[in-house]
Amino acid sequence: MVVGTVYKDMKLKPSILDEYVKVCGRHKTASVIGISLQTFATTPQLGVKSQAATIVCLLEFSACILLQDRGASQLVGRTKFVGADDSIILEDESARMKLRGDSLPVGQLVTGVVMAVKGVAAPGGDFQVNAFCFASMAAQAPQSSLSEDKYVALVSGLGLGDDAADPLKLSLLVDYLVGSLASNEEQTRVSKIVRVVVAGGLLKSTEGLLQATTHKHPRQQAAALAPIREVDMCLSELAGAVPVEVMPGNNDPANHSLPQQPLHRCLFPLASSFTSFNRVTNPHEFEVDGISFLGTSGQNIDDIYKYSVEENRLTLLQRVLEWGHLVPTAPDTLTCYPLSDSDPFILESAPHVFFVGNQSSYSSQIITGSEGQQVLLVSIPRFSVSGTLVLVNLRTLAVHPIQFGADLSA
């Protein structure tokens, strides 16, 4: 039995070193061609055949560099970097060995996963895998039993600052959560919402905030700060009716590396005046009435998706629980804060609800672990695109997606 960390060798995986070599190659090609053409101009005694042959060689050389550039440009538009020639290497601090075997799920694995393999040494230094296993799902605290329905509202990807987004959706969302927009039955459900969690994606991008500098005209500053001010107004209205927790996301004004620290208080002068408004980290772990929640704003699942053949986001969530690590691909392809003594991403216990924000579509599923653990997996879509709010019933773990739209013809 051998235990180690997986490294997935992928030919299509982007590499900053490869890009640097290609850039140097382009500069050298330009220099060689320039020097050669200058030589032709200053050396008329060269024969016509010699000149023609040299030009052909230069053209072939530059064509090779051009093909490399085209290959790199094709990678830019890729959403996945898996290939048929990918291979798995198991390594630790002392050695590494290449794994092979028909039962090895090469396409499903990603770099950073801790794995135990059983097999025999093969010729050439490879290791023939006969069986393998992962950390498996961690132990889970007992789920508390509630006598009445209570709900936690999950939403992500508000995407303010996007000119293509419909502002009426967000207005309908706020009115619904504060109890101003619903039938009597829905208002009864809304009154039982005990917490609202915004899983990142408050802004479309932070480029507008970079324009709000002191040397800009006041009108330009006001236009650049308009999205974050609109976010503050919406959150303050929500915080006046229900506890609100806001996680930072990939395009929000927070540190880029995981774990992301809470958004700064100065961004929400109105909402921060409420004690019911909380700025939290990403990933975020909390508990409500004995039901534990764990979730991210989507960076970890999006990164795993790029280097795995798996298409279903809920399956990726399940894989994360089985691997026992929330962000296995960091720091290889996802930036994280360097930690030497401890790893905050190790899953020491299984949550009752595991959610991921800023996904392309909504989906949910309850899975059962090997020791009877039951975890509700929830994929939360971007609200700016789908207009979807997700309500989780704490008593039954039932999920109620609610969609808001402004299509009057529907």
pLDDT digits (tens, 9 = 90+) for 235-269: 999 999 999 999 999 999 999 999 999 999 999 99
Interstrand relation of 374-381 and 363-368 (parallel, antiparallel or unpaired): antiparallel
In angstroms, rounded to a whole number, what is the distance separating the alpha carbons of residues 54 and 383?
Answer: 60
Report phi then psi at 355, rounded to 5. -125, 155
Question: Model's pTM, two decimal places?
Answer: 0.84
The more confidently predicted of residues 210 and 2 is 2
One-letter amino acid of 307: Y
Measured distance between the N- and C-terminal CA atoms of the chain, rounded to whole angstroms? 60
* Longest Cα–Cα distance in the chain: 99
Which has the minimum average pLDDT: 2-11, 220-229, 295-304? 220-229
CA distances from 108 to 30, 262, 311 (A): 42, 32, 10
pLDDT digits (tens, 9 = 90+) for 72-91: 444 555 789 999 999 999 99
Q: For the residues 153-167, what does the mean pLDDT come to?
A: 85
One-letter amino acid of 394: L
DSSP element (H, E) containing 293: strand 291-296
The more confidently predicted of residues 45 and 249 is 249
CA distances from 159 to 226, 261, 281, 330, 390 (A): 13, 20, 19, 26, 17
Q: Is the pLDDT of residue 136 over 70?
A: yes
Task: Residue 1: count other Cβ atoms within 10 Å of its Cβ.
Answer: 9
CA distances from 284 to 239, 244, 315 (A): 19, 13, 20
